[in-house]
């Protein structure tokens, strides 16, 4: 086994290929396509050239050497049930179970999982050489029966393929992409990278994107998107570019000038304030007199103090209820929303649909609704849940430090050439 594993490692390679995604369905009104990137650099470690003829299966065994039988663990089947079909002596089955316990509890064998029996093909003494149990998509056990019994646990070789995708949006719904051809994980990656610069609720006809990304494979089976390397997004007449950069403690997406694509919120919706009540799952209510959750932070300030939007966004509510008083709710992106309660009045022009920038005045401190004194009850939603924003750890929104700029620019230029080489579906091919 050790020889096989060594060769497996040496074959590790990164292959640049393309994801040619072509969807031409009028029903979905979306057109996507990809560009072939064959001919891009193929990085193979030199050692691989010394053993070019050997190909391995996903468990690291040389192909063609064995006769393989696949089985599926049946309901309530135990290790000894499974092994009993292979002409093994009870003493051998016991030995396997004991050896296995060091790396994996035989009781954790699950029905529905695969196992494989490897028989020697050109052997004067035919018999079971290896037994493989697949723990998951990525983990497996090898029982080596070729000499003394040895059980070992392994991870499958995961290779990354660099892929590309481009798309022009012919409907207004980003979610339509999710429903169609683009890998949902890629949509998730793009949404979080671009959350601060692209309003995914306001995707419109003609918005378009190009993306370079890495997908993980075991053999030729995809096990998910690893990460996005670079993205170009044309959104509502504006171009956004993002490049992944990783060095030392830095990992983020930066625009071509090294500005972080992520922005941070203001720590509070007021410039000067005193926190009069914190977020709590059980607070003694100042008016009702009983204990109930307080899912916001109260900032006390004099009547009429300007209230600021903590981040860029769109006003979704500017209305009155008997509890909230005058309140404003802002959607910042597909992840975050904020709400500001008990205002004396709204700032001019603040109504549903108004776009606001970080620091814009949206209203003034008051005590409308259920309030004992002038304050802002500030509420913060993350993925639809009210959370304590003072306890949230926001990743850095800092620009790239100067000392990394040369490395970044080199990487950015390399990625940009690749992005520029991609064409949107429907565009004429370059001459």
> Footprint of Zn ion on this chain (CB under 5 A)?
296, 298, 377
Taking a C-beta distance cutoff of 8 angstroms, is the pair 114, 156 a contact? no
Q: Which is nearer to Zn ion, 377 or 415 (CB)?
A: 377
Question: In the bound complex, what is the minimum distance in angstroms from residue 294's beta carbon to Zn ion?
Answer: 6
Q: Which is nearer to Zn ion, 132 or 377 (CB)?
A: 377
Chain position whose Cβ is nearest to Zn ion: 377
Whole-angstrom CA distances from 185 to 88, 136, 179, 190, 382 are 45, 20, 12, 9, 19
Exposure on the CB side of residue 194, measured as CA atoms within 13 A? 28
Q: Which is nearer to Zn ion, 208 or 375 (CB)?
A: 375
DSSP assigned state of 62: B
The structure tokens listed for 202 are 């306001």
Question: In the bound complex, what is the minimum distance in angstroms from residue 341's beta carbon to Zn ion?
Answer: 6
Question: In the bound complex, what is the minimum distance in angstroms from residue 253's beta carbon to Zn ion?
Answer: 35
Q: Which is nearer to Zn ion, 224 or 323 (CB)?
A: 323
How far apart CA 384 and CA 109 sit, in angstroms, is 38
How far apart CA 63 and CA 50 sit, in angstroms, is 17
Question: In the bound complex, what is the minimum distance in angstroms from residue 346's beta carbon to Zn ion?
Answer: 18
SS3 100: helix
Q: Which is nearer to Zn ion, 194 or 295 (CB)?
A: 295
The structure tokens listed for 31 are 């057109």
Using CB atoms within 10 A of its CB, is residue 338 exposed (0-12), middle (13-18) or buried (19+)?
A: buried
Question: In the bound complex, what is the minimum distance in angstroms from residue 307's beta carbon to Zn ion?
Answer: 13
How far apart CA 215 and CA 185 sit, in angstroms, is 10
Question: In the bound complex, what is the minimum distance in angstroms from residue 103's beta carbon to Zn ion?
Answer: 53
DSSP string, 25-36: ETTTTEEEE---
Q: Which is nearer to Zn ion, 60 or 296 (CB)?
A: 296
Q: Which is nearer to Zn ion, 193 or 377 (CB)?
A: 377
Question: In the bound complex, what is the minimum distance in angstroms from residue 372's beta carbon to Zn ion?
Answer: 10
Rg (CA), the chain: 29
Residue the block writes with tokens 């899912």: 295
Taking a C-beta distance cutoff of 8 angstroms, is the pair 224, 410 a contact? no
């Amino acid at each position: 086994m050790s020889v096989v594993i060594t060769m497996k490692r040496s074959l590790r390679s990164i292959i640049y290929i393309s994801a040619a995604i072509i969807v031409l369905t009028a029903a979905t009104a979306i057109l996507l396509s990809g560009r072939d990137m064959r001919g891009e650099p193929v990085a193979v470690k030199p050692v691989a050239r010394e053993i070019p003829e050997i190909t391995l299966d996903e468990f690291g065994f040389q192909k063609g050497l064995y006769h393989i039988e696949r089985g599926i663990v049946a309901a309530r089947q135990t290790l000894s049930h499974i092994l009993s079909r292979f002409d093994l002596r009870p003493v051998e089955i016991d030995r396997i179970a004991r050896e296995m316990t060091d790396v994996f509890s035989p009781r954790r064998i699950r029905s529905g999982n695969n196992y494989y029996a490897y028989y020697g093909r050109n052997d004067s003494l035919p018999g079971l050489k290896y037994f493989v149990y697949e723990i998951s998509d990525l983990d497996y056990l090898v029982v080596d029966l070729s000499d003394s019994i040895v059980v070992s646990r392994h991870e499958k070789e995961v290779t990354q393929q660099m892929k590309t995708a481009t798309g022009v949006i012919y409907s207004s719904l980003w979610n339509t992409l999710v429903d169609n051809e683009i890998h949902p994980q890629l949509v998730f990656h793009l949404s979080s990278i671009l959350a601060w610069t692209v309003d995914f609720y306001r995707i419109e006809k003609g918005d378009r994107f190009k993306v370079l990304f890495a997908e993980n494979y075991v053999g030729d089976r995809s096990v998910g998107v690893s990460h996005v390397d670079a993205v170009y997004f044309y959104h509502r007449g504006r171009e956004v570019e993002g490049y992944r950069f990783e060095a030392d403690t830095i990992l983020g997406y930066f625009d071509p000038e090294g500005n972080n694509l992520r922005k941070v919120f203001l720590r509070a919706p007021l410039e000067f304030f005193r926190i009069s009540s914190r977020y709590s799952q059980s607070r003694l209510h100042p008016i009702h007199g009983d204990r109930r959750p307080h899912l916001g932070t109260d900032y006390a300030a004099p009547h009429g103090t300007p209230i600021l939007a903590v981040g860029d966004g769109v006003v979704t509510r500017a209305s009155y209820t008997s509890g909230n008083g005058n309140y404003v709710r802002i959607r910042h992106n597909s992840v975050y929303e904020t709400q500001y309660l008990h205002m004396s009045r709204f700032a001019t022009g603040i109504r549903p649909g108004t776009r606001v920038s970080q620091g814009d005045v949206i209203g003034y401190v008051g005590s409308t609704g259920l309030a004992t004194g002038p304050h802002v009850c500030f509420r913060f939603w993350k993925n639809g849940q009210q959370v304590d924003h003072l306890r949230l750890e926001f990743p850095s929104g800092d620009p790239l430090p100067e000392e990394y700029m040369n490395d970044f620019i080199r990487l950015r230029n390399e990625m940009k050439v690749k992005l520029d080489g991609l064409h949107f579906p429907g565009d004429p091919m370059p001459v």
